Chain A
Amino acid sequence: MLAGDEEAFEVFGERYSKALYRFALARLDGDRELTRDLVQTAICKALSKLESYRGEASLLTWLCACCRNEILMHFRARRSAPEERAFEDDARPAAGLADAGTVPSGVPGNPVEAGNPEVLVLRRETETLVHMALDVLPGRYAEVLEGKYLERLPVREIAARLEVGEKAVESLLTRARQAFKVTYERLRSERHGVAAEENGRNRRGRDHG
């Protein structure tokens, strides 16, 4: 991309700006204007440092770290409390693939969910991660997964929509599921690693203070 490849930038812009927007919006109480400003700043700064990205973390994780930093700096500049909340939110585990079947499914009126703010936070966290993972999937993977699992379309209809054969859809679905799982798990584990580290640092800071 740093060689000036316009197409690479388009892919970057389309996939990652959406995912980062969701990441920031979830931490800024849905404040659109602030989200837009901070994501803009984070992406611009990240691009100016793109040469230093070494691939130790996934690109999205690296961008999220830039964005998280921008959010913290914003709240520190204003010396307001949401900084603490952001850390706490990050520290809660999202649902893993193995837990997916037991996570409250968001059925309206679910008493466990209705009375338990932690479950609500957990579910919000899972939602954001799932949506971010879908945002960064390449090609038609997100489209085919959403068609199958959200719209509950039969393979025949997905094939017609994508203008490919049913066999191709089956194959696409297999690859899409794999790609989604890898992306989601990586996002989840990397974010919790960062969150735990931040939380520990935060706690140590409070203890010393």
Chain B
Amino acid sequence: MDEWDPRADRGPDRIAGAPTAGDDDHEVGALLDTAGSRPEIPREDLDAITTAARAAWRRQVEEVARRRALRTRTTVRAAAGVAALLVAALGALWWWSGSRSGGPGPVIAHVEAVSGSVRFDPAGGGATEVAEGLPLGPGAEIETAATGEAPGRLSLRLAGGATVRMDAGTRLRIASANALELRRGAVYLDTGTVDASSALGAGRIEVRSPVGTASDVGTRFAVRLLEPRASALRVRVRDGAVLVARRGVSYRADAGDELVLHGDGTVERRSAPAWGDDWSWVLAAAPRFDLEGRALTELLDWVARETGWSVRFEDERLATSAEEITLHGSLGDLRPDQAPFAVLPGAGLEGELDGGTLIIRRPQGP
């Protein structure tokens, strides 16, 4: 934590060109003299910063503890013959999560990533700011700030494993682990990772709206209520298929389809690419990818899944060698469409985007 290196105390010979105490005295004195006294920082500013930092730190400590608890749970599950311990751990986690979600009943979703201003109302308990790691119970209503200074975006994971992203200016009620009620704006669902064995995740996930209901058939898709007055529902399917129902009639949309249900009863169908600007808000709301120790191929799988791009290696040998490459460091705030271009050079490779295909190759000579 300390900024200075305690090894420096062993003697001045650690500093090149500053071998004597007399030099130190002169140099440090001259610098302090040049700089003068430190201006006082207004106490109220420091207090405001510290208060916000403390809240962020506590959230992070809770998140780390939660992840450790989950890792512990996984380990315990893997050990045959300790089923009783598993039940106790899950029970404790259940109780802990329930107490934090602001009400009784099961936790059916967790917030994975938040940007900008996002508020939620835990089943009528009064609105509050959303933080990463926040558990959500049935009936929780979430609202993201509209596009502007700090547009709110959010990614949450339902108990069954599906992920849900909310665009800025969206209002969504989580009715249950399988039913979302879209009141305004747009959501994106990825149900490709649903754990079918989870009691909370079983069954299709529905996005209900005043105009119609979209339900997944193992897919990734976006649902947007179109203005004015949320009078039409647009469903875009990236992968798999979606059933959109209205007044007893079902319409199927497959990968690459866009369906628009208008308030006057008409239905439009057209094709929509799986990548491009229309999906950029989904990338902005994506949870971070933990790079450290992961294989390059894992990163590329994530990029492909998030962006809708297909990934192609220049040749088969390169594809095989890519499986051996392990990555280190952190992506920071890089989005999925930016990450490969930052990471590939470090692995001695380069990427080129050609339409919706990311081509990986070795750098060409001068």
Interface positions of A (Cβ within 8 A of B): 1-4, 8-9, 11-13, 15, 17-18, 21-22, 32, 35-36, 39-40, 43-45, 47-52, 54, 58-60, 69, 77, 95, 97-98, 100-101, 103-106, 123, 126-127, 130-131, 133-138, 145-146, 148-150, 174-175, 177-186
**Given A103-B30, A177-B25, 4 extra CB contacts under 8 A:** A21-B41, A54-B330, A101-B26, A182-B14
Q: Are A44 and B56 in contact (CB under 8 A)?
A: yes
Q: Are B56 and A43 in contact (CB under 8 A)?
A: yes
Determine if B315 is an interface residue (Cβ-Cβ < 8 Å): no
Bitwise, B17-59 to A at CB < 8 A (1) or not (0) is 1100100111111111111111101100110111011111101
Q: For the complex, what is the distance from the CA of A12 to the CA of B32, rounded to whole Å?
A: 24
Q: For the complex, what is the distance from the CA of A11 to the CA of B1, rounded to whole Å?
A: 9
Pick 5 A–B contacts, CB within 8 A, sort by A: A2-B60, A32-B42, A54-B292, A98-B27, A138-B4
Q: List A contacts of B24 (CB < 8 A).
A: 174, 177-178, 181
Q: Are A47 and B30 in contact (CB under 8 A)?
A: no
Q: Are B330 and A52 in contact (CB under 8 A)?
A: yes
Q: List A contacts of B46 (CB < 8 A).
A: 17-18, 21
Interface of B is mostly: helix
Q: Are B49 and A138 in contact (CB under 8 A)?
A: no
Q: List A contacts of B26 (CB < 8 A).
A: 100-101
Q: List A contacts of B42 (CB < 8 A).
A: 32
- Which residues in chain B, 40-82, are within 8 Å of chain A measured between CB atoms? 41-42, 45-46, 48-50, 52-57, 59-61, 64-65
Q: For the complex, what is the distance from the CA of A64 to the CA of B17, rounded to whole Å?
A: 27
Interface positions of B (Cβ within 8 A of A): 1-5, 8-9, 12, 14-15, 17-18, 21, 24-39, 41-42, 45-46, 48-50, 52-57, 59-61, 64-65, 132, 149, 290, 292, 329-330, 332-333
Given A12-B1, A17-B53, do A126 and B25 touch, yes or no (CB 8 Å)? no
A129 smallest CB distance to B (angstroms): 8
B37 touches which one: A4, A105, A146 (CB < 8 A)? A146
Given A48-B59, A149-B33, A181-B27, do A21 and B49 touch, yes or no (CB 8 Å)? yes
Q: Are B29 and A36 in contact (CB under 8 A)?
A: no
A138 touches which one: B2, B18, B132 (CB < 8 A)? B2
| Chain B residue with Cβ nearest A179 | B4
A126 touches which one: B14, B31, B132 (CB < 8 A)? B31
Q: List A contacts of B5 (CB < 8 A).
A: 182
B48 touches which one: A18, A40, A123 (CB < 8 A)? A40
Given A1-B57, A97-B18, A106-B34, do A49 and B49 touch, yes or no (CB 8 Å)? no
Q: List B contacts of A126 (CB < 8 A).
A: 31, 34-35
Q: Indicate the member of B42, B53, B65, B332 with the most A CB atoms within 10 Å.
A: B53
Q: Indicate the member of B14, B41, B48 with the most A CB atoms within 10 Å.
A: B41
| Chain A residue with Cβ nearest B38 | A131
Q: For the complex, what is the distance from the CA of A77 to the CA of B50, rounded to whole Å?
A: 25
A40 touches which one: B3, B27, B36, B49 (CB < 8 A)? B49
Q: Are A47 and B56 in contact (CB under 8 A)?
A: yes
The list of the 8 closest CB pairs from A to B, nearest first, reads: A130-B35, A44-B56, A52-B330, A100-B30, A179-B4, A136-B3, A149-B32, A127-B35
B118 smallest CB distance to A (angstroms): 14
Q: List A contacts of B17 (CB < 8 A).
A: 98
A47 smallest CB distance to B (angstroms): 4
B34 touches which one: A35, A51, A105 (CB < 8 A)? A105
A20 smallest CB distance to B (angstroms): 8
B104 smallest CB distance to A (angstroms): 27
| Chain A residue with Cβ nearest B5 | A182
Q: List A contacts of B8 (CB < 8 A).
A: 178-179, 181-182
Q: List B contacts of A177 (CB < 8 A).
A: 21, 24-25, 28
Q: List A contacts of B28 (CB < 8 A).
A: 97, 100, 145, 149, 177, 180-181
Q: Are A100 and B34 in contact (CB under 8 A)?
A: yes
Given A103-B30, A127-B35, A150-B36, do A21 and B45 touch, yes or no (CB 8 Å)? yes
Q: For the complex, what is the distance from the CA of A150 to the CA of B195, rounded to whole Å?
A: 66
Q: For the complex, what is the distance from the CA of A5 to the CA of B26, rounded to whole Å?
A: 39
A13 touches which one: B29, B30, B54, B290 (CB < 8 A)? B54
Q: For the complex, what is the distance from the CA of A58 to the CA of B64, rounded to whole Å?
A: 23
Q: Are A105 and B45 in contact (CB under 8 A)?
A: no
| Chain B residue with Cβ nearest A33 | B45
Q: List B contacts of A174 (CB < 8 A).
A: 21, 24
Q: List A contacts of B29 (CB < 8 A).
A: 148-149
Q: List B contacts of A179 (CB < 8 A).
A: 4, 8-9
| Chain A residue with Cβ nearest B4 | A179
A14 smallest CB distance to B (angstroms): 8
Q: Are B52 and A40 in contact (CB under 8 A)?
A: yes
Q: For the complex, what is the distance from the CA of A43 to the CA of B33, rounded to whole Å?
A: 30
Q: For the complex, what is the distance from the CA of A100 to the CA of B33, rounded to whole Å?
A: 9
A44 touches which one: B4, B31, B53, B333 (CB < 8 A)? B53
| Chain A residue with Cβ nearest B133 | A48
Q: For the complex, what is the distance from the CA of A173 to the CA of B140, rounded to whole Å?
A: 58
Q: List B contacts of A180 (CB < 8 A).
A: 4, 28
Q: Are A130 and B34 in contact (CB under 8 A)?
A: yes
